[in-house]
Amino acid sequence: MSAPSRRPEIRRRRTRKEKVLKLRKRHAAASSSSDRERLEKKLHRLGLVSPGIPLLKK
């Protein structure tokens, strides 16, 4: 694979990783249970792309 074809893949992975980290931080800092549940659902949706790897530890 050449570099130009790898760039979009690398950018996609980096963006996804940043989004997951941001959601995890917001989940940890959430005060109300409704906010926490909403963020859990978002993380769950992102986790469907990579089954077997939980994005949020219970």
Written as tens digits, the pLDDT of the chain (58 aa) is 678 889 999 999 999 999 999 999 999 999 999 999 999 999 999 988 877 888 887 7
Question: Which pLDDT belongs to residue 57?
Answer: 79
pTM over 0.75: yes
pLDDT at 1: 67
User: Which residue is it, tokens 């994005």?
Assistant: 55
Predicted confidence at residue 42, as pLDDT, reads 94
Q: What is the 3-state secondary structure (H, E, C) of 7-26?
A: HHHHHHHHHHHHHHHHHHHH
CA distances from 44 to 3, 14, 24, 28 (A): 32, 18, 11, 15
